[in-house]
């Protein structure tokens, strides 16, 4: 993959990027110190907390700017050690940002309804009510500030590191693609998905089998990483008094448990429609049933014309 990221920074690890990181780290530290010296939100310090919230928004925008830049670089070249090192370094900055977020949660945890409403009514925060309400809800499920800050620091070499390991392994993983004509190519795992939607079923199956074989060689590493990630989250949930493992996911998705239950109820009440479609697809393909690698495959119908790459580009542009 080759894309132009100069709209972020003219050069990776260039002077502009280094200045950006230095300023960002300094301002996160400064705002953390100021917010840490404030009492929880009350009628006397609303001005100071408004400033802290607006400052947090600014810093969040900037850290996401450089974070998405590095994510794009590592996605394009998982083997580049400089990109990987930068990604690891940013995790420390994200931890500092998380500790700043702890101060905001502390502000809302014991705030009265009246003081919270007064803050939300301020003109500068008028459009931020939904976000502030979510922060206030989140604050009810927090450990002590010191424990939350410790969790953020430990996450750099714990939760985040396990996630980085999984991303590194999956990003570097390759598989042997055995084509029907006897050719065998070593391909990155990122190409597997598109090959599993190829019109030729033999190619789809070869991509599926080759990818599974490659993953089998790393299954213990992947399992260890995923189990560690899940275990850390469940432990933190227990200390934060989160009752159900789905509660955090529901909060992050912005839906309630009744909404999720209704979605599943609607799905299972009409699940036969989907099964009917798959049976028809299998029948059209001359198969007793569809395999996993048949789900995204196009049907070879007379009216289906292939679209060339150039034609596809013209359609998109």
Whether residues 22 and 64 share a domain: the answer is: yes
Asked, for residue 62, whether it belongs to a domain, the answer is yes
Whether residues 40 and 97 share a domain: the answer is: yes
Euclidean distance between CA atoms 284 and 213, whole angstroms: 29
Domain that holds residue 129: 15-156
User: What pLDDT, in 10s, does the model give residues 59-88?
Assistant: 999 999 999 999 999 988 888 999 999 999
Whether residues 188 and 127 share a domain: the answer is: no
CATH code of the domain containing 126: 1.20.140.70
Asked, for residue 145, whether it belongs to a domain, the answer is yes
What token pair was written down for 144?
A: 């002590």
Whether residues 54 and 141 share a domain: the answer is: yes
pLDDT given for residue 159 in this prediction: 87
Asked, for residue 316, whether it belongs to a domain, the answer is no
Q: What is the pTM of this model?
A: 0.82
Whether residues 28 and 134 share a domain: the answer is: yes
Whether residues 25 and 152 share a domain: the answer is: yes
Asked, for residue 250, whether it belongs to a domain, the answer is yes
β-bridge mates for residue 174, sequence order: 188
What token pair was written down for 51?
A: 């400033």
Residues (pLDDT < 70) of the chain are 1-2, 303-304
pLDDT given for residue 2 in this prediction: 67
What token pair was written down for 71?
A: 């994510």
User: What pLDDT, in 10s, does the model give residues 215-271?
Assistant: 999 999 989 989 999 999 999 999 999 999 999 999 999 999 999 999 999 999 999
For 138, list phi and psi in degrees, rounded to 5.
-65, -35
């Amino acid at each position: 993959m080759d894309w132009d990221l100069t709209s972020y920074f003219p050069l990776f690890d260039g002077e502009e990027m280094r200045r950006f990181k230095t300023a960002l780290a300094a301002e996160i530290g400064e705002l953390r110190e100021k917010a840490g010296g404030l009492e929880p939100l009350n009628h006397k310090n609303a001005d100071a907390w408004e400033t802290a919230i607006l400052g947090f928004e600014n810093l969040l925008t900037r850290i996401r700017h450089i974070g998405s830049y590095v994510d794009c670089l590592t996605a394009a070249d998982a083997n580049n050690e400089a990109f990987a090192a930068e990604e690891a370094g940013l995790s420390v900055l994200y931890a500092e940002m998380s500790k700043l977020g702890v101060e905001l949660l502390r502000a809302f945890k014991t705030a009265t309804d009246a003081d919270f409403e007064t803050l939300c009514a301020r003109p500068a925060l008028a459009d931020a009510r939904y976000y502030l309400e979510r922060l206030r809800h989140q604050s009810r499920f927090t450990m002590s500030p010191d424990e939350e800050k410790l969790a953020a620091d430990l996450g750099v070499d714990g939760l985040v590191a396990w996630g980085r390991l999984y991303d590194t392994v999956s990003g570097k993983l390759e598989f042997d693609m055995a084509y029907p004509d006897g050719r065998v190519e070593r391909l990155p795992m990122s190409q597997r998905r598109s090959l599993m939607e190829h019109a030729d079923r033999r190619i789809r199956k070869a991509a599926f089998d080759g990818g599974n074989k490659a993953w089998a060689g790393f299954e213990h590493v992947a399992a260890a990483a995923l189990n560690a990630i899940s275990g850390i989250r469940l432990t933190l949930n227990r200390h934060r008094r989160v009752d159900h493992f789905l509660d955090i996911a529901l909060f992050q998705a912005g839906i309630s448990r009744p909404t999720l239950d209704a979605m599943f109820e609607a799905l299972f009440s009409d699940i036969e429609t989907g099964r009917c479609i798959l049976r028809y697809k299998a029948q059209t393909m001359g198969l007793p049933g569809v395999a996993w690698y048949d789900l995204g495959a196009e049907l070879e119908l007379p009216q289906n014309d292939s679209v060339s790459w150039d034609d596809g580009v013209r359609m998109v542009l």
